[in-house]
Structure 1
Amino acid sequence: MSEISPQKRVEIETVPAKGPRDVPHALIKLIEDDGLKVGDRLPPELALVQRLGIGRSTIRETLKTWESMGVVSRNKGAGTRLTAEISRNTLRVALTIKHEANSLLRMLQVRRPLEMEAVRIACRLATPDQRRLINARAAELMAVYEAGEDWRPADHRFHYAIHDATGNPLFRQFIDQIQKCFHDIYDTPFGKPHLGQESIPLHRPLADAIIAGDEDAAAGLAGTIIDMVCAETQKISEAHEAHDG
């Protein structure tokens, strides 16, 4: 493995990755600039943190995705080594799609039980005014969706109304924090700003179940909505893998 020149090091360090979507690209550029080949070891995680200007957990998640794709092998003693040829002209799109899919699925895995518990509590504790607001937010969401407009802001307001009806501000805070960790990926995953659109019609019966105080029906619908987004995410990832394979 050749040592990177001081001139190249400055160039890499002054162009840090800006978000999760940029990390695979930044790592590929580093590999190319360092001239790394199959069998070569990548710099340690702390060195990658310093050179790319991104968090260690984000780098670790990207390398975990690459390992699942057979691009690198990771060993506590031997470090991380390249096991496949990689360049900006070959694996960039595939790696980005896989990374986004894995990140989004992990976020949804954490969000699912939070949403299911939130609707259960809202069924029990929502005041008459809060139930009316949930109903109004659902009506607004369906009107925007049926008009073919951007339904995401209305969707956020609908879920916020449910979270507020729990009487526990931590539901809204935790879910907001989870989504902020994956901001770029969550807002436009795979370049699709309306991922999960097929689940929107289920929000009307979800609101009805909460208003009626039917905990089991509401929790089941909340879980199904998340599951539909997960299934669509998995389908997109597998389609890209099949295409690239």
Structure 2
Amino acid sequence: MIGIVNEDRGVPPISVATKSRNLVVTLRDALKQQIEAGAYKPGERLPSEAQLTREFGVSRTVVREAIAALRADRLVEPRQGAGVFVLEPVPELEVPFQNIDFVRISSVIELLELRTAVEVEAAGLAAQRRSPSQEERIVERFREIDRLARQGLPTGEADFELHLAIADATNNPRFREFLTMLGPNVIPRRSLRATGQETVSDDYLRGIHAEHERIVSAIMEGDEEAARLAMRQHLKGSQARYRALLRNRIQQTEAPA
């Protein structure tokens, strides 16, 4: 049964998985705990697929999915014919977009255009390549946004985490790197609300929720084209809204006193 961890690695046993918990997530978390605790050091090979299957009492499919999730987190790297090896911790990336003025609505529109060019494809790839654990993470992030909105709390950070989860589900780490370089202020309402330039209405949040739901549903169903379309509509809609906001600001500036 899963829940037994090599005690000679100095890591306390994890609890037996309940019916409601995904075995892939449980195994991923157990291996991640061992890696972070130093049980498996950078450059060291993880036990073979057969060994993990026996040790945790799970199927080979579960082992493969858990390894795929660790790979998406950039913790391990499979090497052809050699096994799966622990990677060096990835240092935080320095943000290269230093000339972005998040206070300016025009900068927000520029970033939305850039995100559209990248994230539409990310949604399609996520629908095609996502693992069960990545599906779970996407749904968790989606529900967290809804929970915060219902409590009247800011949702910008959770929104960013949802887009990161979708990027991870592409299983191409460059998509996460792209969003990480831009940072959480690419969520327009987060950056503008922080500067007092915009208030967020309940109707707007409900609209965002519906757009996110369409994206998440398409990814869960494995519908690549629907996922791309839903993401395009989400980001294009945001562009249109902020262009209207920009026009309104210009008109207010030009209006006679």
After superposition, the CA RMSD in angstroms is 3.1
Q: Distance in 2 between matches of 1:183 and 1:203?
A: 13
1:192 aligns with 2:201: no
1:202 to 1:153, Cα distance in 2 relative to 1, 3 A: same
CA shift in 2, pair 1:219/1:138, >3 Å: same
C-alpha distance in structure 2 between counterparts of 1:184 and 1:201, whole Å? 17
Could you tell me how far 1:102 is from its partner in structure 2? 2.1
Aligned to 1:47: none
2:114 maps to what in 1? 110
- Cα distance in 2, alignment partners of residues 175 and 129 from structure 1: 21
| Separation in 2, partners of 1:238, 1:187 | 19
Q: 2:250 maps to what in 1?
A: 241
Matching residue's letter, 2:197? G
Q: Determine if the alignment matches structure 1 residue 228 to structure 2 residue 237.
A: yes
- Letter of the 1:159 counterpart: H
**% same residue:** 23
Q: CA deviation at 1:183?
A: 9.7
Runs of 4+ in structure 1 over 6 Å off: 180-186
| 2:175 counterpart residue number | 171
Query: SS in structure 2 opposite 1:188?
Result: helix
Task: Please give the residue correspondences for 1:15-26 in structure 2 after superposition, counting only pairs within 5 Å.
Answer: none
Partner of 1:49: none
Task: Provide closer, same or farther for how the CA distance between residues 237 and 205 of structure 1 changes in structure 2, counting only shifts above 3 A.
Answer: same
**Are residues 157 and 181 of structure 1, via their aligned partners in 2, closer, same or farther at CA, if it must alter by over 3 Å?**
closer
Find the residue that maps to 1:240 and give its secondary structure.
helix
Gaps of at least 5 residues in structure 2 are: 1-97
The answer (yes or no) to whether the contact 2:156–2:189 under 8 Å persists in 1 is: no
For 2:148, the equivalent position in structure 1 comes to 144
Equivalent residue, structure 2, for 1:119: 123
Deviation at 1:128, TM superposition (A): 1.3
- 2:234 partner amino acid: I
Whether the aligned pair in 1 keeps the contact of 2:157 and 2:184 (CA below 8 Å) is no
Return the alpha-carbon distance in structure 2 between the equivalents of residues 215 and 223 of structure 1: 12
Contact 2:160 2:184 in 1 (8 A): no
Residue 128 of structure 1 corresponds to: 132
Q: Quote the Cα distance in structure 1 between the aligned partners of 2:170 and 2:176.
A: 10
What is the letter of the counterpart of residue 192 of structure 1?
Answer: E
1:23-172 equivalence runs, <5 A: 58=99, 100-172=104-176
Q: Give SS of 1:229's match.
A: helix
Q: Secondary structure at the match of 1:134?
A: helix
The answer as to whether partners of 1:103 and 1:182 remain within 8 angstroms in 2 is no
Cα distance in 2 for residues equivalent to 1:183 and 1:216: 24
Unpaired stretches in structure 1, ≥5 consecutive residues: 1-56, 63-95
Amino acid of the structure 2 residue aligned with 1:191: Q
Tell me by how many angstroms 1:119 deviates. Answer: 0.8
CA distance in 2, matches of 1:159, 1:131: 13
Contact 1:120–1:215 (8 Å) recurs in 2: yes
Q: Is the 8 A contact 1:145 1:200 kept in 2?
A: no
Among residues 211, 215, 218, which one is paired with 1:202 in the alignment?
A: 211
- Cα separation, 2, equivalents of 1:231 and 1:101: 12
- The one-character-per-residue Cα deviations of 1:178-202 (angstroms, maximum 9, x if unpaired) are 3479799972266237597442331
- Where 2:122 maps in the other structure, the secondary structure is helix
The amino acid across from 2:169 in the alignment is A
Q: Distance in 1 between matches of 2:225 and 2:113?
A: 20
CA distance in 2, matches of 1:185, 1:221: 19
1:145-200 CA-to-partner distances (Å, cap 9, x unmatched) read 23321111211221111111111111111122234797999722662375974423
Equivalenced residues, count = 152
Residue identity matched to 2:218? A
Distance 1:129 1:180, change over 3 A: closer
